Structure 1
Amino acid sequence: MKSIEVVAGIIFFKNQILCVQRPESKHQYISKKFEFPGGKVEPEETKIEALQRELLEELNIIPAIKSLYLTVEHTYPDFKVTMHGFLCEVDSKALSLREHISQEWLKPEELNQLDWAAADIPIVQKLQSNH
């Protein structure tokens, strides 16, 4: 089974967190699910460099990346993912959705209103338990 290493941005604007919705996929378990934006770490990159690149590519933003928040290991039906979630801050909600189909800015206690990708759920739970 393939293993991939990814980074995700837990992007705060004041007390709200950016949640983005994946497009439709042939894989039902991730199709149209919400996630924290990010993507794969390339071989020559650090985790921070990968997150900066992915957030610029996907959302056209350059947030302040603060610290590693949680690393999640999850096994989907056809691959394993190790996801490093980083706390980030932006000073504006302005962004461009280049790969996702929608966005929500929610307070931590509101996050469970969304249908999250399984690998993102431990981050959602930790964010909610800290508020």
Structure 2
Amino acid sequence: MKHIEVVAAIIVKDDKYLCVQRPWNKYNYISEKFEFPGGKIEHEEPKIDAIKREILEELKIDINVIEESVTVNHEYPDFKMTMYSFICDANDYNFELTEHIDYKWLKKEELDTLDWAAADIPIVEKLMEK
């Protein structure tokens, strides 16, 4: 089974977290689910470089990485993944959705109201503990 390494940005603004919704996907288990933005790490790319690159590509904003957060190992039916998440902020929050269909800014106690991709749920749970 294919294994991928990905990064996810937990972008914080005024005690709210940016949650983005995936578009339709051939894999129904991630289709139109919410997630923290991010993507695949390129070969030998440092994780910090990967998260900054992915967010610039997906949202057209520069982020500041504050700290590494939860690392999630998850197995979907068609692939395995390791996801490294990072708490981030930005100097400018005027972003543009280039790969997602919707977004929400939610307080931590509201995070469990969304239909999350399974791999993102451990991150949601950790944030809600704080």
* TM-score interval (norm. to shorter): over 0.9
Partner of 1:116: 116
Residue of structure 1 equivalent to 2:42: 42
Gaps of 5+ in 2: none
Match of 1:100 in 2: 100
- TM-score in terms of structure 2 length: 0.98
Query: What are the within-5 Å matches in structure 2 for residues 1-131 of structure 1?
Result: 1-130=1-130
Cα displacement (A) at 1:106: 0.3
Separation in 2, partners of 1:14, 1:90: 11
How many corresponding residue pairs? 130
Shift of 1:128: 0.2
Asked if structure 2 preserves the Cα contact closer than 8 Å seen for 1:13 and 1:92, the reply is no
- Check whether the contact 1:38–1:55 (CA below 8 A) recurs between aligned residues: yes
Whether the 8 Å CA contact 2:65–2:86 is kept in 1: the answer is: yes
Superposed CA RMSD: 0.8
Note the alpha carbon deviations across 1:39-69, whole angstroms, 9 max, x for none.
0000131000000100000000111111110
- Please report how far the alpha carbon of residue 122 of structure 1 lies from its aligned counterpart in structure 2 after TM superposition: 0.2
